[in-house]
Amino acid sequence: MTTVLDVQRFKDEGRRFAVLTAYDYLSAKILDEAGLPVLLVGDSLGMVMLGYPTTLPVTLDDMLHHAKAVARGSRQALLVGDMPFMSYHASTEQAIISAGRFLQEAGMHAVKLEGGGPVIEITRRLTELGIPVMGHLGLTPQSVHAMGGFKVQGKTDAQAARILADARALEQAGAFSLVLEGVPSKLAVDVTKALRIPTIGIGAGPGTDGQVLVLHDMLGLTTGKAPKFVKRYANLAEEITRAAKSYAEDVRNGTFPGPEHEYSANGSAPAKDREEVRYGPG
Ligand code: KIV
């Protein structure tokens, strides 16, 4: 199983690594078996799975529900649970209780928190308590209103210096890795060189130690224009549309179900068939 020590080793040995988001049992199982070393149960699930316009409405219970499903599907990946808006903002004590639930109830191995400033002290406490923390700087979607929209961060010298200082402080506080989202490539390279811990970029150029993408973006399940930093490795929205239309057409014209889909009097029992499909662990 991948651990936080392995992730550090990747950086030490100069091995770039890929991270994907996962929100449910079946996709976690597929990604885990595909060998992804780290799966992030991101609060982006609010937009991708729940249809919210931002991540702000996502609750801790929403996150735990999805995190549990991901843990059931995964065997080898390091699982990181994203702490949602207002699950760590009120106090360090609240952060400890929320993070503890990710590990104790949902089977996550680490948590991710957005921001620097007060989050640095929270990171220190969680780390001291044995809860590994992934930091997240740059475009931090939970601060969308403070940033005036989903905008690239760190473009001015002052902003870049702030991000670099926060990155150093998070490392000092014990974070085991750091997501850099929506920052200029040069800043991502500067932070990556300045830190011992691995950086994981999204919209931060090629100079970070790892990369993370939202699964549904890279699979082409999210429709509309993809953000510039996304590469679509498949076009599943088109594939699903084609399959759904084809199924509906088969039902309309009576070609589905065909003889091969019927149970005969002495055939296998439907319950046994369902087991073979393996919806559950196995
Ligand atoms: O919520 C999420 O999926 C994230 C990644 C995009 C880093 O935070």
Nearest alpha carbon, ligand 1 atom 8: 42
Average pLDDT, the chain: 95
Predicted confidence (pLDDT) at residue 162 exceeds the cutoff of 90: yes
Task: Show which residues are catalytic.
Answer: 181
* Domain count of the fold of the chain: 1
Q: What is the pLDDT of residue 82?
A: 98
Q: Which domain holds residue 31?
A: 4-236
**With a 6 A CB cut-off, is 38 part of the ligand 1 pocket?**
no
Q: Identify whether 136 is part of a domain.
A: yes
Q: What is the CATH number of the domain that holds 52?
A: 3.20.20.60
Tell how strand 210-213 and strand 199-202 pair up.
Answer: parallel
Look at residue 182 and tell me whether its pLDDT is greater than 80: yes
* Residue range 167-187: mean pLDDT, rounded: 98
User: 44: CA distance to ligand 1 center in Å?
Assistant: 6
- Residue at 245 is within a domain: no
Q: Does 217 contact ligand 1 (Cβ within 6 A)?
A: no
* Token pair in block for residue 94: 């609240």
Please compute the mean of the pLDDT values over residues 214-223 and round it to a whole number. Answer: 95
Spatial neighbors of 77 by CB under 8 A, at least 6 apart, are 1, 2, 28, 31, 32, 36, 37, 38, 39
Is residue 271 situated within a structural domain?
A: no
| Distance from residue 43's CA to the centre of ligand 1 (Å) | 6
Q: Provide the pLDDT confidence category of residue 225 given band limits of 50, 70 and 90.
A: confident
pLDDT tens figures, 24-78: 999 999 999 999 999 999 999 999 999 999 999 999 999 999 999 999 999 999 9
Q: Is residue 258 part of a domain?
A: no
CB contact at 8 A, 74 and 41:
no
> Is 32 inside a domain boundary?
yes
Q: Tens of pLDDT along 13-32? A: 999 999 999 999 999 999 99
The span from the CA of 254 to the CA of 142, in Å, is: 50
**pLDDT given for residue 50 in this prediction:** 98
Preceding omega of 257 cis (within 30 degrees of 0): yes
Helix residue ranges, H only, 174-253: 185-194, 215-218, 236-253
Residue 282, pLDDT > 80, answer: no
Domain assignment present for 250: no
**Which whole number is the average pLDDT over 111-129?**
98
Q: Please say if the pLDDT value at position 281 is more than 60.
A: no
Tell me the CA–centroid distance for residue 264 and ligand 1, in Å. Answer: 49
User: Has residue 192 been placed in a domain?
Assistant: yes
What integer pLDDT is reported at residue 266 of this predicted model? Answer: 76
Per-residue pLDDT at 223: 84
Average pLDDT of span 144-155 = 97
Please report, rounded to a whole number, the percentage of residues in the chain having pLDDT higher than 70.
Answer: 95
Higher pLDDT, 276 or 135: 135
Note whether residue 270 is domain-resident: no
pTM of the model: 0.95
Candidates 134, 153, 214, 217: which one to mutate for ligand 1, based on the most atoms within 8 Å of Cβ?
Answer: 214
Is the confidence at residue 265, as pLDDT, over 90? no
**3-class secondary-structure state, position 44:** coil
Amino acid at 273: D
Q: 276 pLDDT exceeds 70?
A: no
Q: Write the burial class of residue 40 (CB in 10 Å: 0-12 exposed, 13-18 middle, 19+ buried).
A: buried
Question: Side chain identity at 162, as an amino acid letter?
Answer: R
